[in-house]
Structure formats: structure tokens, C-alpha cells
Amino acid sequence: MNLNSLTDNELLGKFVNHDRQAISYLYDLLLPDLTAFILSNSGQRSDAEDIFQEGLLVLYKMASESGFEIKYSIKSYFSTICRNIWFNRLKKNKREEFYGDWANDEIKQDGSLHEMLEQNAQMALYKKHFLLLNEKCKQILEMYFKGKKMKEIADTLDMASEGYVRKKKYECKQSLFDSIQNDPMYEELKVY
């Protein structure tokens, strides 16, 4: 049977029914991307395998619920599950350096699990691209998001004027938005 022709929900149905071909297909489809992600985020290959197994268990439990359907690709859905597991593990082990909680303030934890997973994936995408900014941009945006005035930012970072800080802030935000929008995960998550 060619599993490529199945919809993601049909594939999940086979997975929940312990179809060996479907399970093997999911390994081939999902493990390489997860391994690359874990390796690029303070992890090792063994971490990727552990997170993959945990992710499969979460996916299995969710897919086993009556009426469960995914609305996004299985790759993005599974990636979101595993990224959340990994970031929680990093947080627990204090191996990840967080750049302040200001970025998490807008996430509402009272929604459904699906909404929370989607929000966490969006936050992971944001953090990934924020970390790619140059140091000056990171400093400007961090101070701006913490509510600092333009004059205070200019003085602290030894910049010429408030107007120059405003201009740089705009350029940094634009650079961040452009970087996020060019990431393939952006389309999968439909981040707005």
C-alpha cells in the first residue's frame, strides 16, 4: 500500500490501529526533521529519539480520542508536540538560556491543547528568528519590549539619538518579521 496517497487523518487512523507500515512511515517522515531540530537546540541524537517516542505517545493519545482530526499537516502538528516537549525538558534542566519572559506574556494558557501547542510553536518560531538577529537588534528589541523609553535605550546603548533608536527599532522589527515570514514553518502554522 502506498501511504503517500493517504490523507494525514487516514494515516493517523492507521497509526492508532497499530499498522506497522504506518508506524514505519511516520518514523521515516518525522524523525529526520526532529533530529535536526534537537541537534541544533542543545540536544543529542539520543535526546531526539527520546523526544520522538514521547511525541508519538502524545500523538497516539490525542489521535485515539473520538472525533480527533488534525487541521494542519501531520509534520507541523507532530513538530509542535515535540518542540514543546523538548523546550519543557530544556527549561526543566535549565539548559536553555531564555531571553526574558516578555515574549511569553501574550500566550494564553487557558485554551485547548491544540491552541496551546500552536501558540508554543509560534513562540518557538519567534525565538528561533529573534536569536538570529545581530546583538544590537536583540538589545534594542529586548529593551523596547520591556517598556523602555527611546531616550533610555539611546543612552544605555550609547546611540546618537532617540530618532536613530526609532529607526533601528523599525529596521530590527522588519528584519525579524521578514525572517519569520521566510521560514517554511510560518506557512504551516499560518502565523499572523
* pLDDT over 80 at 74, yes or no: yes
Q: Which residues contact 117 (CB under 8 A, 6 or more apart)?
A: 77, 80, 81, 84
Q: What global pTM score does this model have? A: 0.50
pLDDT grade for 145, boundaries at 50, 70 and 90: confident
* pLDDT over 80 at 116, yes or no: no
pLDDT grade for 130, boundaries at 50, 70 and 90: confident
Domains of the chain, by residue range, sit at 1-97, 125-192
Distance of alpha carbon 188 from alpha carbon 117, whole angstroms? 13
Of 81, 153, 90, residue with least CA distance to 116: 81
Task: Specify the 3-state DSSP secondary structure of 95.
Answer: coil
Torsion angles phi and psi, residue 165, rounded to 5? -65, -45
Residue whose C-alpha cell reads 543612552 in the numeric block: 155
CA 188 to chain centre: 11
Mean pLDDT of 51-68: 86
Would the CATH topology of 1-97 be identical to that of 125-192?
no
Q: Which CATH number fits domain 1-97: 1.25.40, 1.10.357, 1.10.1740, 1.10.760?
A: 1.10.1740
Q: Are 125 and 180 in contact (CB under 8 A)?
A: yes
Q: What is the pLDDT of residues 13-32, one digit of tens each?
A: 888 898 899 889 999 999 99
Write out the H or E segment, with its range, that includes residue 52. helix 45-64
State the average pLDDT for the chain.
80
pLDDT at 188: 63
Residue whose C-alpha cell reads 527549561 in the numeric block: 91
125-192 is a CATH 3.40.720 domain: no
Q: Which residues contact 190 (CB under 8 A, 6 or more apart)?
A: 72
Q: Are 189 and 76 in contact (CB under 8 A)?
A: yes
Class of residue 109 by CB neighbours under 10 A (exposed 0-12, middle 13-18, buried 19+):
exposed
